[in-house]
């Protein structure tokens, strides 16, 4: 596995992957930035930079997240939420075929290893509120505002 650290508007992103795909993208408040980017991570780094520069609203590099079968199913459903749109945890549970699985869906969202690319930040509470986000609610708010197709002052 190769690792790269890049600066983003939301902190330092850590990207981990190999020739089989990107396994982890996470964010932290601090960290050193990579001087050189491993070849297998260059496309992911380029696409993430384009996302933050508002030149890209989807990703095409190969993903290889590690998780249970249920987690994989939840993460794949997240990929269907369009850029600039949100869904509730209840809607996600219905899409996955079991409204009673809402807590399990929320838990799997929280374990999403691919920050931004698998857009768990697009899932909100049934009342429209921002709810749990591993990267911090301020980052979730920033991402939703960044993706908002209309340039209003603030969504939340």
Residues marked as catalytic: 120
Task: Report which of 119, 135, 147 is spatially closest to residue 63, judged by C-alpha positions.
Answer: 119
In 9-69, DSSP assigns E strands to: 11-18, 21-28
Residue by residue, DSSP assigns 79-133 as TTSPTT--EEHHHHHHHTT-GGGHHHHHHHHHT-SBTTTS-GGGEE-TTS-----
Q: How far apart are CA 154 and CA 19, in angstroms?
A: 40
d(CA 88, CA 94): 10
Question: In sequence order, what are the beta bridge partners of 11?
Answer: 8
As a whole number of angstroms, the distance between CA 135 and CA 133 comes to 5
């Amino acid at each position: 596995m190769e690792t790269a650290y890049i600066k983003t508007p939301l902190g330092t992103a850590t990207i981990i992957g190999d020739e089989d795909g990107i396994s982890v993208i996470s964010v932290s408040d601090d960290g050193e930035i990579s001087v050189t980017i491993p070849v297998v991570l260059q496309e992911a780094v380029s696409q993430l930079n384009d996302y933050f520069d508002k030149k890209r609203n989807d990703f095409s590099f190969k993903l290889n997240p590690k998780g249970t079968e249920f987690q994989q199913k939840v993460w794949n459903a997240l990929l269907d939420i369009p850029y600039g749109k949100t869904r509730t945890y209840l809607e996600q549970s219905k899409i996955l075929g079991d409204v009673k699985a809402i807590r399990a869906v929320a838990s799997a969202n929280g374990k999403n290893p691919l920050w931004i690319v698998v857009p768990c930040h697009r899932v909100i509470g049934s009342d429209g509120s921002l709810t749990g986000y591993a990267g911090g609610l301020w980052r979730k708010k920033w991402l939703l505002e960044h993706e908002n197709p209309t340039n209003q002052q603030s969504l939340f």
